């Protein structure tokens, strides 16, 4: 009697060590079976998380109702209008300062990942090599092949549908490229294409990210300075990890 082969999900990318998908649907597709999840929302949320870490500030992601209550629970400050430049201007925190950042893309996805058994990391161009080294060290610590799911947040069109964004494509690709340099290179087609975008266009990343619709939108909102922080590569070794619903280093 012939036994049918077990059915597999053609979109979960589980045959590859390094995977990449977009948005909330991407979390459901590739994050559930990963040992590490790398979140990328380059122009705003994850760059803000990394910059906050540089100032000694931890970040609690939140989206939807209850943000003020969450801030009160943590003894944290609710930042209703997140600004990377404003966080960068903060004095270095000498204590365990926490801020709650609500954003519709990265923060919402991080909130979805808060209960994930995977190690969830915030990545930007600023710490892309540090993220790869962190994952490599974690793999050595585990003594086992470690699967990595990179979630590019993307943006949203007015109807709520996903808009694939250049800044997240390049930044996710930069992380994949850094992983490949360390020998973590069994990449899905989705991850390989993002890496090729970065290796081909990385030298123009500052110009390209600054010229995107996302950057122009922030500029029109008076937050042009926020964009510059998302265009600088490898300026910190800090890797924020989601712990108890808060990104800490």
> What's the number of domains the chain is made of?
1
Q: Which pairing describes strands 119-123 and 97-102: parallel, antiparallel, or unpaired? A: unpaired
Q: What is the pLDDT of residue 2?
A: 37
Q: Is residue 78 part of a domain?
A: yes
Q: Is residue 96 part of a domain?
A: yes
Res 78 pLDDT > 60: yes
Q: Is residue 13 part of a domain?
A: no
Mean pLDDT of the chain: 93
Structural domain including 240 reads 18-248
Give the chain's count of helices (H) and strands (E): 11, 11
CATH number of the domain where residue 100 is located: 3.90.1560.10
Strand ranges (E), 41-160: 57-62, 77-78, 97-102, 119-123, 148-152, 155-156
Q: Which pairing describes strands 241-243 and 246-248: parallel, antiparallel, or unpaired? A: antiparallel
Q: Is residue 128 part of a domain?
A: yes
> Are 13 and 30 in contact, with CB atoms under 8 Å apart?
yes
pLDDT in tens, 179-191: 999 999 999 999 9
Q: What is the pLDDT of residue 5?
A: 39
Q: Is residue 48 part of a domain?
A: yes
Q: Is residue 157 part of a domain?
A: yes
Q: Is residue 8 part of a domain?
A: no
Predicted structure pTM score: 0.94
* Three-state secondary-structure class, residue 122: strand
pLDDT in tens, 92-146: 876 689 999 998 899 999 988 999 999 999 999 999 999 999 999 999 999 999 9
Q: Is residue 9 part of a domain?
A: no
Q: What is the pLDDT of residue 48?
A: 96
């Amino acid at each position: 009697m012939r036994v049918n082969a077990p059915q597999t999900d053609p979109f979960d990318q589980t045959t590859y060590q390094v995977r990449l998908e977009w948005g909330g649907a991407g979390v459901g597709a590739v994050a559930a079976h990963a040992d590490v999840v790398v979140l990328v929302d380059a122009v705003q949320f994850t760059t803000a998380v990394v910059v906050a870490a540089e100032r000694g500030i931890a970040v609690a992601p939140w989206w939807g109702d209850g943000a003020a209550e969450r801030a009160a629970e943590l003894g944290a400050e609710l930042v209703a209008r997140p600004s990377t430049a404003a966080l960068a201007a903060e004095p270095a925190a000498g204590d365990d300062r926490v801020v709650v950042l609500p954003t519709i893309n990265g923060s919402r996805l991080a909130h979805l990942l808060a209960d994930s058994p995977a190690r969830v990391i915030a990545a930007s161009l600023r710490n892309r090599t540090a993220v790869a080294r962190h994952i490599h060290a974690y793999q050595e610590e585990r003594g086992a092949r470690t699967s990595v799911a990179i979630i590019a947040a993307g943006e949203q069109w007015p109807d709520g549908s996903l808009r694939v964004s250049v800044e997240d494509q390049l930044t996710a690709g930069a992380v994949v490229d850094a992983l490949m340099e360390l020998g973590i290179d069994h990449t899905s087609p989705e991850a390989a294409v993002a890496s090729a975008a970065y290796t081909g266009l990385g030298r123009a990343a500052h110009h390209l990210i600054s010229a995107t619709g996302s950057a122009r939108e922030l500029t029109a909102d008076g937050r042009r300075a926020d964009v510059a922080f998302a265009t600088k590569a490898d300026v910190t070794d800090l890797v924020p990890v989601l712990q108890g619903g808060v990104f800490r280093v």
